[in-house]
Structures are given as C-alpha cells and as structure tokens.
Amino acid sequence: MIGQTGAENGASSHVVTTRFALNGEQQQSAAAARTTVLDWLRESAGLTGTKKGCNEGACGSCTVLVDGRRMNSCLILLAQVDGADLTTVEGLADSDGTLHPVQQAFIDHDSFQCGYCTPGQIISAVACISEGHTGSAEEVREWMSGNLCRCAAYPQITAAVLTAAHPINPEA
Amino acid sequence: MLDFGYSRPDLEGEVLRQLSHSDSMAIAGGTELLNWIRLGIAAPAFLVDLAGLPDRSNIALNGEWLEIGAACTLNMVGEHPAVREHAASLASACLQAASAQVRNRATLGGNVLQRTRCSYFRVEEPAPGPCNKRSPGSGCAALSGANEQHAIFGWTPDCVAVQPSDPLVALTCLDAEVEIADHSGHRWMPVAGLHLTQQEAAADGGDPARLETRLAADELIRGYRIPAVTGRRSTYVKVRERVSYAYALVSAAASVRQLEGGDNEVRIVLGSVAQRPWRLLTAEHGLQGQELTTQNVAAAVERAMAGARPLSTNRYKLRLARGVAVRAVLEAAQR
C-alpha cells in the first residue's frame, strides 16, 4: 500500500511523499495530504504561471497536463500524481527560449487582455490539439469550453488554437 | 482545506476495510469530493484513494454485455468505439457533461454519486439558509424560494432537489446494471434502482432529504454492464442555458429498437426533473404499435407528465421536458 499516513483514521501526521516528474525534472515532495497540485505548484514550487481562479474546477485557469491529459489542478491532491508526468505553462518553451507554437499563436492572434486565464488556455489548447479536437472553430469552442475568459478573448483564442493546430492552412 | 489522512491500497478488501470506518471516504477523480470538503458538505478524517485498485478502467464487449470499469473517466467512456456503437446515449451523455478537464478525472463510478447543484445546498458552511441536506430539520429554502433548477416529480416539502448526472440518465435508459462490492462480496443491481426520490426515501423510512442512494457508506461501485442489444439506437439530448459546460435544465435519454413484425420498442428517461432519472413508462406503453411522429410522441409524453408537481418557478420544465423527450425519441428513431 502506498502513502499510508500515520496511524489509521484521524491520526496526527498526514504527510504524504509524492514522486513525480515536473516539466521533465524528477521531484520528490513531502506535503500534507490535503495539498492540491495547484497549491503545491504555486506555494511550494514557486511556479505561479498556473492560476487559482475559482478553486472549484469551474474556470480552468489552473489547467495542467498530467501524463499529457489536461486537468484542473485545483481538483487533484498532490498525492494523486505519484508516478505521473506533469507539465505546466513554464515547461512549454524550449530551453533556448523559443516559444511553443501555441504560445506564439496566442501572441500572433492577440489572444489575451489581462492574461489571467492565458496559461490555462494555452495548456488546455496544447492538449486540445493533441487530442485532435480542432477540426473546426465550433469543435474548438466546444472542447475549449472548460477555460473561461472574462475579457472575452474567445474569438482570438479560437483563432490561435486553429492556427497552432493547422499551421500551414489556418482556415482548415 | 480540512486536514485528513490518505492512503492508496492496492487490494479491494483493504479499501473496504478502511471504508468501514465512518470517518473515511473514498476518492476517485476527486472532482466532487474536494469541493464537498471545501464547502463543509463532507468532512472526512481519512481519504482512501481508489486509484491503486487494478483493472477498473477497462471497457470491453463481453458476449451480451458491454462492460465498463468504475474508474473509467468520462472522456474514456465518451470516446470509446464500443460505447459509441452499443451505448450511444451514454457516450453522448459523457461528452456533454462538464468540461474536457473535468472529464479527464471524473469517473463513471463517481459521477453517478454526485449531489445536487441546489444553490442552498452548495454553499460554504455555515449554510446561511435552511437546507435539510446540510442541517437536518432546518427546512428547505428552495421549496418556496429559487427553485428553477429543482424537481417536478418525487419531491417532498423536506427537499426538492434533482440529481444532475448526465451519464446516470443514459445508463438508466440502457438498462445498465451496476456492480457493488461490500464486505461480504459483490452484487449486481439495476442502475435504475440505485437512486431514490425524496418520496421514495421517506417511504423507505429514511430521511427524505438525506437518503439519496442505496449505496452504503462502506460499499464501492466496481463497474457497470450494459446489455448489448442488437439494433438499439439511442440518444441523449441535454438542454442548458448556454451551449456548453453547464448542468442540464432538463435532459432526455431515448432508445428505439425495431422488433420483429415492425413495431418499435421505445425507452424514454428524463433527467434533472427528480432526484433520480425519471422513466416515462406510460409514454413507452402508449407508443407501442404507433408510428413515431412528433404528434404521437408528444401526446404520449404529455400523458406521462400528467402527474408532475411543478414548484413556484419551474413550471417551464413541463414544456421543456415534453420537447426534449420528443426530440430524443425522434433523433434515436432516425439514427
């Protein structure tokens, strides 16, 4: 059994050690069981690109990739990513600073105003593209609907996702 | 968030043993549970993570059954070719639920155990208004308050909430069965019998506001099986206030199968009109031997809705339910 904390049920020590990869680097962290991936990223790892918007899985600003699948990090306990491969927005660009094609497309299409939803949008878009849910603007809107933008940059976000998904023919 | 302990057993027996403690709860995707803990709806001292149990994420056609493990995520279920072919209504319901991110964590086992979205229930404690689910005996604010999203069947003055799960409605329509593990073994039961309306809970001698399912706190859903019925076409229609990423106002799962001799066998189940999926048996019987036209289906559904008991602000659900049921049946018939 993995991760048994303290004595059974209601014990005083609830620290769990979790081993996982984060943006390609191995991590080992001892944290309170109640620590979410979101809180660990922002408070322990200092990676504040991932945002806390609603903290209830509704806004998508906390979206990260776990084994390539997009999820709301506010709804995952750190203990639950033991053995997994995490990607945050900080891990998208190349080591030489070259932006990920999705990041570049967001700039090219003016796809953000305040920028708060943007890291979540970008991570979500990376997965949306790898899932193959970018066949049309309608499909992109449906499959990106878990990322809210109060600045209403949705048309530009949709255009950026389509461009990044279909770089030779952006109208496809 | 509340402090709790955590374990991830790799044996079902150990999971059940830990769940036998009244302050322990199981966590799967966590898309409901973590919010329950944040709001004070649940306050477990210990979480038992089900992710350590092997072989719970399988989807396979096994003879006459389509089998789906409880740990399958909604995206896995919704995009699986076998589900799309043999249980189209379920695939559609899964993909119309929540968001892509939530669907990558929410499991089919957990999804049917989600609780109502009633705004008097879903508040951070201490609940500012009466809610018999949160605070037994305090009353029901929705009964004469903001009840647009609430029940038109099966409610009592103690509670007027609806069950919001989309997959649950489709599973009911498809005659799915659920496998439940408890300390003495495991058993299969119809999904249709898992949830109770407030009236049914009261008739069972339970608290009408708090007895929501027949699953005990120390039991576990292992998976589902759906009869793979040849020639059955099914749909799921979900009506929401916006195009995506919202709970249903009203939904309907329908299936149509042509029997030998040319008659149609129809199934219609409504969602979000009661604290469990609401099967329109009278409408189904009324449509036997009938041509599936808008007129015939609407008339049959109208008669089946005769027993509806709308609240002060949800009368619109009567008309919406009729429309949604008709659309679901006709779409299924045309597949």
Residues 6 or more apart whose CB falls under 8 angstroms from that of A132 comprise: none
| Residue A7 pLDDT grade (very low, low, confident, very high; cuts 50, 70, 90) | very low
A37 touches chain B (CB under 8 A): no
pLDDT at A171: 54
Q: Which residues of B touch chain A, with CB atoms under 8 Å apart?
A: 1-11, 14, 18, 21, 23-24, 27, 29-31, 34-35, 38, 45-47, 49, 51-52, 98-102, 104-105, 243-245
Which A-chain residues 63-82 have CB contacts (< 8 A) with chain B?
63, 66, 69-72, 74-77, 79-80, 82
Q: Which residues of B touch A2 (CB under 8 A)?
A: 7-8, 10, 52
Q: What is the pLDDT averaged over residues A1-14?
A: 47
pLDDT at B99: 98
Q: Is B8 close to A124, i.e. CB distance below 8 A?
A: no
Q: Closest partner residue to B6 among A3, A131, A141, by Cβ? A: A3
Question: Testing the interface with B: which of A35, A37, A69, A71 to mutate, by most B Cβ within 10 A?
Answer: A71
Which A-chain residues 17-36 have CB contacts (< 8 A) with chain B?
32-34, 36
Dig out the tokens for A136 from the structure: 């049309």
Residues present in chain B in total: 335
pLDDT at B131: 98
Q: How much is the mean pLDDT over chain A?
A: 92
Name the residue in chain B with its Cα closest to that of A79.
B6
Q: Is A9 close to B47, i.e. CB distance below 8 A?
A: no
- Please answer whether residues A86 and A66 qualify as being in contact, where contact means their C-beta atoms are separated by less than 8 angstroms: yes
Q: What is the pLDDT of residues B288-299, one digit of tens each?
A: 989 999 999 999
Question: Testing the interface with A: which of B12, B37, B104 to mutate, by most A Cβ within 10 A?
Answer: B104
Rounded Cα distance between B77 and B96, Å, is 12
Q: What is the pLDDT of residues B169-210, one digit of tens each?
A: 999 999 999 999 999 999 999 999 999 999 999 999 999 999
Q: What is the pLDDT of residues B228-247, one digit of tens each?
A: 999 999 999 999 999 999 99
CA of B6 to nearest chain A CA: how many angstroms apart? 6
pLDDT at A168: 73
A55 touches chain B (CB under 8 A): yes
Residues 6 or more apart whose CB falls under 8 angstroms from that of B121 comprise: B41, B115, B127, B131, B133, B134, B161
- Please answer whether residues B287 and B297 qualify as being in contact, where contact means their C-beta atoms are separated by less than 8 angstroms: yes
pLDDT at B195: 98
Q: Closest partner residue to B6 among A69, A79, A146, by Cβ? A: A79
Is pLDDT above 50 for B265?
A: yes
What is the C-alpha end-to-end distance of chain A, expressed in Å? 49
- Please answer whether residues B113 and B212 qualify as being in contact, where contact means their C-beta atoms are separated by less than 8 angstroms: no
| Residue B262 pLDDT grade (very low, low, confident, very high; cuts 50, 70, 90) | confident
Is pLDDT above 50 for B31?
A: yes
Q: Is B100 close to A56, i.e. CB distance below 8 A?
A: no
Distances (CA, A) of A42 to A39, B71, B154: 5, 29, 46
CA of A118 to nearest chain B CA: how many angstroms apart? 15
3-state DSSP call for residue A120? helix
| Residue B102 pLDDT grade (very low, low, confident, very high; cuts 50, 70, 90) | very high
pLDDT at B89: 98
CA of A33 to nearest chain B CA: how many angstroms apart? 6
Q: What is the pLDDT of residues B41-69, one digit of tens each?
A: 999 999 999 999 999 999 999 999 999 99
Percent of chain A exceeding pLDDT 70 equals 90
Q: Are strands B46-49 and B5-7 parallel, antiparallel or unpaired?
A: parallel
Q: How much is the mean pLDDT over chain B?
A: 97
Name the residue in chain A with its Cα closest to that of B103.
A71
pLDDT at A13: 52
pLDDT at A172: 47
Q: What is the pLDDT of residues B278-332, one digit of tens each?
A: 999 999 999 998 999 999 999 999 999 999 999 999 999 999 999 999 999 999 9
Is pLDDT above 70 for A3?
A: no
pLDDT at B335: 87
Residue A59 per-residue DSSP state:
S
Q: What is the pLDDT averaged over residues B150-175?
A: 98
CA of A134 to nearest chain B CA: how many angstroms apart? 13
Q: Which residues of A touch B24 (CB under 8 A)?
A: 9
Complete DSSP assignment for B61-103: EETTEEEEETT-BHHHHHH-HHHHHH-HHHHHHHHTSS-HHHH
CA of A88 to nearest chain B CA: how many angstroms apart? 14
Dig out the tokens for A109 from the structure: 């299409």
Say whether pTM exceeds 0.80: yes
- Please answer whether residues B332 and B256 qualify as being in contact, where contact means their C-beta atoms are separated by less than 8 angstroms: yes
Q: What is the pLDDT of residues A50-109, one digit of tens each?
A: 999 999 999 999 999 999 999 999 999 999 999 999 999 999 999 999 999 999 999 999
- Please answer whether residues B3 and B46 qualify as being in contact, where contact means their C-beta atoms are separated by less than 8 angstroms: no
pLDDT at A169: 54
Dig out the tokens for B334 from the structure: 């045309």
Q: Closest partner residue to B3 among A34, A75, A131, by Cβ? A: A34
